[in-house]
Structure formats: structure tokens, C-alpha cells
Amino acid sequence: MAATANGELTRVTIVSPNTRVDLALPAEVPLAELLPTILRHAGEELADEGASHGGWVLARLGGQPLDTGRSTSQLSVRDGELLYLTMRQKMAPEMVFDDVIEAVATATNNRGSRWDQHSTRKFSLTVGICALLGGALAVLLAGPPQLYGAITAFVVATILLSTSAVFARALRATDAAVAFAVVSLAFAGVGGLLAGAGDRSVSELTAANVVMGASAILVFAVLALVAVADRAPLFLGAAFCAVALAVASTASMVLDGNAALGAAIIAGLTFALIPITPMMSLRLARVPMPQLPQNVEELKSDAYTVNGAQALERSTRANEFLTAM
């Protein structure tokens, strides 16, 4: 079977009533989408036979049918496992336990959403992000004089962005790098808001302060885009939002505080830019463009080829850039 765009495959052996076949299944594709292909590999006649006995199911030896709405990674199917292609009507009845401990252990092992190292990392990152965002909120609401809060916010933002670059470049921990970079944008925005606030409270901030905050977010978003290149679309989206906020706030200042008109201007500009965003996303993702033949010989030779895996990867990247914009 063809590899997925990210190349993650689960190599299993499918045991059917007549044969057994080794397959590499895409790890993130639901089994329901893979079952027709599995049936073709296991025997062309199996698909027709399934209509008379309720269809085919995949199961581990002695286990219940695997949920076809989930992927092999969600079902914790590991490389080298045997999966049995069985008639649904001939599935063995559910197991009867004479030991409560064994029943609990079996249920725990069969549960797909078990706590693992990945869950620990996600939980730790979530707690860390919430704590840091709480710190940014505390700096914002600390009150005048605001200069000290602005300096603190910019220092923390710089430290967080530097840490994200280390995690992304040296440790290859992209999730942690993204978390630190995103929080650095929050601190940068707080620093920009408070930089020119003087002795005014948060409720007294003006559109000029918002412009400074948006400008700070834009600068740090561009730096984060370079530091964590694997998640460039995310920070490109943040940069676009910062530009929109800065333009809207500037328009509001020019129009004597008419925020509604400033928002209308941004909406108009956004709709005007929509037609060019698909081509921009293709350029940013470096998707190879078709090369038209320049002469009759090139037209006859038809020698132009495209790297399939690279084209799929860059197409996915282009879609991410388009979503960000």
C-alpha cells in the first residue's frame, strides 16, 4: 500500500480464511477506509462473500473486532502483529472472566486512550503554558507605573523565544518549541501594550498602545517563524493577525476613534487579498509548478517527472499556509 504523506506505517500480517499477507497500513487512516484494499489483497472473492454473512472484521487472536472508525495508531496496533480477517457472524462470543483482576487488566490493555509518555508531555506543556499565560496576565494587570511591566514582559518574551529556538534546533522537540514561542508572543504583546502606557491603567489604554502591542507581536512572530521553521504556518498566521490589528488600530486613530470603520477597512482588505492567497501559499511551500514544453521535441519526449512524495508533502504544507493566511 502507498505510504502516507508523513510516512508513518504499521506493518502487520493479515490472516484470512485462505491465505495470509503482509501489509504496511497507514497509521493514521481509519480501518474502514483500508478494509476494501485489505480484502483485495486477501482474495478478490472475499468482498462478494461478505455480503451474505454481515461483512468482514479485523481482530486480534481471541479478541473482539477492532473499531473500524479508528486507525492502527489509535488502536495501539504494533509492527509485526497478526490481525485475523474473520466473518462477523463467526466471531467468538465475548470472554467470560472468573477473576476480577484479569478482567480489569484486559479492559485496561484494550482501552485505546491509555495514559502514556505522550500524554505526560501534553499535560506538562498544557500546565506550563497556562502558568506562563497567567504570568503574562499578572504583568498586564499589575498597574502603573507600566514601564517596569513592559521591560519584564519583553525580557520574558526574549527568554521564551530563545528557549523555543533551542528546543526546535538542538533538541528537535517541536511541540515544546511551539509552546514556548506562542507564549512569547503573548508576553511581547503585553510588553508592547504597556511600553507607552506611562501611569495609565489597562482600561485607559488607547489605540496607539494597541498598535505598539500588535507591532511587538509581529516582530516576535517573524522571529518565531525563523526559530521554529517546522511550524511556520502557525506563526505566519499570527503575523497576519498582528498586521490586521495594527492597521485597524491605526485607521481608528486616523478616523477619530471610529473602531467600526477601522474594522470595515480590514474586512475589505482581507476580502481583496483572498484571490492571491492560493498562489502565495504554493510559493511559500515551494510546490513544483508544471513546466510547459518549449518546443516540439520537449512536447514529444514528455520527460518531465515529479517527485511524488515531495509533491505530497509540499502540497500539505501549502494547505497549512493557506489556512494560516
pLDDT tens per residue, range 67-115: 888 888 888 888 888 888 887 766 555 666 666 776 677 666 666 566 7
Q: 225: Cβ–Cβ under 8 A, 6 or more apart, which residues?
A: 232, 235, 236, 239
pTM recorded for the entire structure: 0.62
CA distance 183 to 12: 41
Query: What are the boundaries of each domain within the chain?
Result: 9-90, 120-253
d(CA 186, CA 233): 18
For the residues of 61-76, what is the DSSP string, one character each?
TT-PBP-TTSBTTTTT
Per cent of the chain over pLDDT 90 is: 24
The pLDDT of residue 189 is above 90? yes
Alpha-carbon span 271 to 294, nearest angstrom: 37
Cβ contact 107:73 at 8 Å: no
pLDDT bin (cut points 50, 70, 90) of residue 7 is low
Q: What is the CATH number of domain 9-90?
A: 3.10.20.90
Query: First CA to last CA across the chain, in angstroms?
Result: 34
User: What burial letters (b/e) apply to 193-206, b meaning 16+ CB within 10 Å?
Assistant: bbbbbeebebeebe
CA distance 26 to 72: 8
- The helix (H) or strand (E) run that includes residue 126 is helix 117-140
